[in-house]
Structure 1
């Protein structure tokens, strides 16, 4: 596969990830109207769990490099949104919701680490 073809495939997968994020984000926000930014949190939790699965699958050679690249760099790169999470933390702090901003910051760091580990363990247990 040529570098240009890879570029186009990664870009396409990134677009699919972004559209998936938009649909999920919009759906959650319709149901959740509280100050805690649940939609971004859920999206990043799903993304990190999937990244753990993908990393383990690649490490155990159950997927090839191309598939890993398209899924992780492309789809999950477009789907996950840690920059939005940081922006939401700053927004909460500016509104003087310091406790919620701190809790969201801690949850945004700790929970994804747990999720990526759980994703990895799902594949490792199957090996």
Structure 2
């Protein structure tokens, strides 16, 4: 049990580093109001979570692998709390249209990506 705990921690750390690298890379060339880096990260995480869920459901991967990837890596990689904070910042900055668009896209597209991921993982 303790070994599994440490592995999840390590995978979470790897996910956080991957998020940092991707976030920094996107922000270097995207200098607009829409928080694209967080959006892309959460879309990718949702797609991967759907694929992993289907792989686990169809017994392609075991529970430990699923746990390490979804709870560990994707838990460190995805960042819903940052997305919410960015929505609030957009609204407080009176960028209502962008804030509402970001909120709508952040809630709807990850759901669709999980469904797409599940479909991909079930092939």
Q: Same fold (TM over 0.5)?
A: yes
Rounded to whole Å, the distance in 2 between the matches of 1:72 and 1:9 is 12
Corresponding position: 1:105 with 2:123 = no
For 1:21, the equivalent position in structure 2 comes to 19
> Which residue of structure 2 lines up, in the alignment, with residue 71 of structure 1?
69
Cα distance in 1 for partners of 2:57, 2:66 equals 10
Q: Does 1:119 align with 2:117?
A: yes
Q: Which runs of 5+ in 1 are unaligned?
A: none
Alpha carbon RMSD of aligned pairs, Å? 0.4
Map Cα deviations across residues 54-87 of structure 1 (whole Å, 9 max, x no partner): 0000000000000000000000000000000000
CA distance in 2, matches of 1:29, 1:117: 28
1:9-61 CA deviation, whole Å, 9 max, x = no partner? 00000000000000000000001000000000000000000000000000000
Scaled by the length of structure 2, the TM-score of the pair is 0.99
User: Paired residue for 1:85?
Assistant: 83
List structure 1 segments (4+ residues) > 3 angstroms apart after TM superposition. Answer: none
